[in-house]
Structure 1
Amino acid sequence: MNFKNPLILLITTFVIHFGAIEVKAQSTLPSKVKRYLRSVEKDTLQIPEDRKQVLQETASHIISNSTVKLHFVCSHNSRRSQMAQLITEAIGQYYNINIEAYSGGTHATALNPRAAATLQRVGFDLKMAPGADIPQYSIQLGEETFLMYSKKYDDMQNPKKDFIAIMVCSEADRACPIIPGATLRVALPYTDPRKFDGTEEEEKAYDIVCKQIARDLIYLMAKVKSASL
């Protein structure tokens, strides 16, 4: 869940409306994050056709319903859903689209430090927030500050209506056949990098999954952006 200062946004953000989608003046992303997103843009051609169809249908739903809330759900909200949430926020700024990203799990655990390290390699400046009962990370992204921590999908900080639920693991897909309040439920699973924890392939496995997530979300948001022009 992200916490935004309305006064700062009012002063610094110039908002332009294109149809039903809100497009805002570009925020300053870390240069390393922008380079990462530019490099991943080239990989969208590698997305399998069946996956492209799911992403296209999701984009069409966003465009036709003005739904710009994406809620990523996995089993523990510790790795894939957390990465997807922060990357979505970055892509929203990258494409100048005003989008809200959330994440949750069927169970709450903790943001895994390996996932946090992966996001740091992408270029995000994650800082451990002091004094919390569970591990929390604070991230400054342009003019916005985000607080990342593990929570259930129905946590009070997550949206209750008018959002798209994206199931990023098969376990959550099976456990939550219905997500109350979602206007669309999408299955977009990724391999769990946890199986590589403690091995020589650990860092590579996390980077691959993170890049796959970024690739899919860039493809999705590029479709949304093109429809708003």
Structure 2
Amino acid sequence: MILFGTQKIEIFFKNAVVDHCISEDRKSMIVRMAKSMYEIAAGDFANIQLNFICTHNATSSQFAQVWAYYAAYYFDLPISSYSGGTRVSSFHRNTVRALQSAGFQFNILHFDHQNPTYAINFNRTTRSLLGFSKRYDNPINKGAYFAITTCNDNETGELYIPKAIAHFHLEFDDPTKYNLKESKKEAYLKTSKSIAAEVYLLFETLQALKERVPQRSIV
């Protein structure tokens, strides 16, 4: 059976939770993040805007923004997602390919050899997500937001972010170290899956807080 668009993304999203083993310590950290966001936003999910930040805004932060964009639809929560870096590079082509293989549609809005701008969407969405490499303080990242740094380096982990309501650190493995290896496709898919699983847990916890109904993932 050939799957397309939203159906394919949903299956990838659900399978990520099953296939990716999240440690108990990491689960607890993500749940604490969700509870903190909920409390700071006073239960108003429209006030929860997430800005995922890594050094180059090329891989982990882009994966996280796109999966949060889908998670907001999947869990029916009015949460916005952004991404940025401490410097500008490009939305890595291997990141784009991994997300396309999961079912996301990428259309080039502005061609640039170094840093093209994509409109990212899926079949049931009413709005596209703009995807390109940018600094975390780019004007497109509007308003006050929760900063979530995703790189395992001191540059982002210790970054001072003036607009951040709160700063959380949730580092992911960097697949770019596999760029020159034959296993690069699998490495990017693995990173996409691990980030999808943890974004799922974050949003599932937020939804449970909204409904005040205990969920299987809350610890």
Normalization by structure 1: what TM-score?
Answer: 0.81
**SS in structure 2 of the partner of residue 138 of structure 1:** strand
Is the CA contact (8 Å cut-off) linking 1:106 and 1:152 kept in structure 2? yes
Distance change >3 Å, CA 172–CA 165, structure 1 → 2? farther
The one of 184, 187, 210 aligned to 2:192: 210
- Tell me, in whole angstroms, the C-alpha distance in 1 between the residues paired with 2:12 and 2:176: 23
Displacement of 1:145 in angstroms is: 1.2
The one of 11, 33, 49 aligned to 2:9: 33
Higher mean alpha-carbon deviation, 90-99 vs 61-70, is at 61-70
Displacement of 1:130 in angstroms is: 3.7
The one of 80, 100, 104 aligned to 1:100: 80
Give 1:184-195 correspondences, 5 Å limit.
184-195=166-177
| Letter matched to residue 26 of structure 2 | R
1:67-89 CA distances to partner (integer Å, 9 max, x unpaired)?
41110000000111011101101
Give 1:6-155 correspondences, 5 Å limit.
30-43=6-19, 46-66=21-41, 67-132=47-112, 134-141=115-122, 142-155=125-138
Is the CA contact (8 Å cut-off) linking 1:160 and 1:180 kept in structure 2? no
Is the CA contact (8 Å cut-off) linking 1:54 and 1:186 kept in structure 2? no
Displacement of 1:174 in angstroms is: 4.6
Is the CA contact (8 Å cut-off) linking 2:86 and 2:156 kept in structure 1? no
> Where do 5+ consecutive residues of structure 2 fail to align?
42-46, 212-219
What fraction of aligned residue pairs are identical, expressed as a percent?
27
The one of 167, 184, 196 aligned to 2:178: 196
Higher mean alpha-carbon deviation, 199-208 vs 121-130, is at 121-130
- Tell me, in whole angstroms, the C-alpha distance in 2 between the residues paired with 1:210 and 1:54: 20
**SS in structure 2 of the partner of residue 110 of structure 1:** coil
Distance change >3 Å, CA 77–CA 64, structure 1 → 2? same
Distance change >3 Å, CA 51–CA 173, structure 1 → 2? farther
Distance change >3 Å, CA 176–CA 185, structure 1 → 2? same
Matched residues, number: 199
Partner residue in 1 for 2:165: 183
Is the CA contact (8 Å cut-off) linking 1:167 and 1:173 kept in structure 2? no
